Copies of this chain bind each other. A is one copy, B any other.
Amino acid sequence: MRPKIYLFGDSITEVAFGDGGWAASLSNHFSRTVDVVLKGHSGYNTRWALKVAERIFPPVGSGGAPTLAVTVFFGANDACLSDRYAAFQHVPLHEYKQNLHSLISFFKKRWAETVILLVTPPPIDEDARLRHPYMENPSGLPERTNEAAGAYAQTCISVAKECGCPVVDLWTKIQEFPDWKEACLCDGLHLTETGNRIVFEEVVKILEEQGLSPGKLPAEAPLFANIDPKDPLKAFEGY
């Protein structure tokens, strides 16, 4: 069976099959070689992710296909401030760190050979968050700040280093983009097509560094380019 790449994360992952989404781009990139399977859970932090991981990822030996890689893309909700309207999503920084370690341990135990790719939370445009609250927000203060998101991003990077996992520093990458607040974010938090493109390109770059590129993986069924017009059925002999 064709191998899989899982994308595990919050809403930024859940909507990644939307227009210009990075999951769709990744699926297209790995066409014929890998199934990209979305495990995006809107609103989730790492505490809740740990509650569901055991059940939503198939155990080895359940007849499924091998898992080549899994992206772990949490932190945007953990970084909600503890005294604002989204405080119920907040996870303290030290617990976020521990939870990421636990998630990595879980995946290492389940799939010893799988690339575990961490993605930091994106930066935050606080003014846009005030214009796009998802609950009543009479305080006039944003539920997230860029500074807090940055602290979670730094923690994510340090966990990746401690565990020997590759990491996309999305918080920094996006802020390197000109006019990033408008160009890369649609509501101060979620990604535009440009923001999605950055995630896609960074993830592809790291997967390639790990040896995972379409050209190096076997294609499922004979490719059209390898079918001889003079004897098409030859390509299917023994398949």
Contact = CB atoms under 8 A, between A and B. Distances in A.
Given A17-B31, A24-B27, A43-B227, A233 B63 contact: no
B221 A52 contact: yes
Q: How large is the interface on A (under 10, 10 to 19, 20 to 34, 35 or more residues)?
A: 35 or more
Interface in A9-61: 11, 14-15, 17-21, 23-25, 27-28, 31-32, 35, 37-44, 47-48, 51-52, 55-56, 58
A224 B44 contact: yes
A177 interface: no
A139 interface: no
Nearest to A87: B229
Nearest to A36: B17
B21 A28 contact: yes
Nearest to A220: B56
B229 A52 contact: no
B230 A58 contact: no
A146 to B, nearest CB: 23
A28 B51 contact: no
A92 interface: no
Nearest to A59: B63
Nearest to A45: B232
Contacts of A23: 24, 27
Nearest to A227: B43
Contacts of A35: 35, 37-38
A188 B58 CA distance: 43
Interface string A193-231: 000000000000000000000000000111110010110
B42 A224 contact: yes
Interface of A: 1-2, 11, 14-15, 17-21, 23-25, 27-28, 31-32, 35, 37-44, 47-48, 51-52, 55-56, 58, 62-64, 88-89, 220-224, 227, 229-230, 232-233, 236, 239
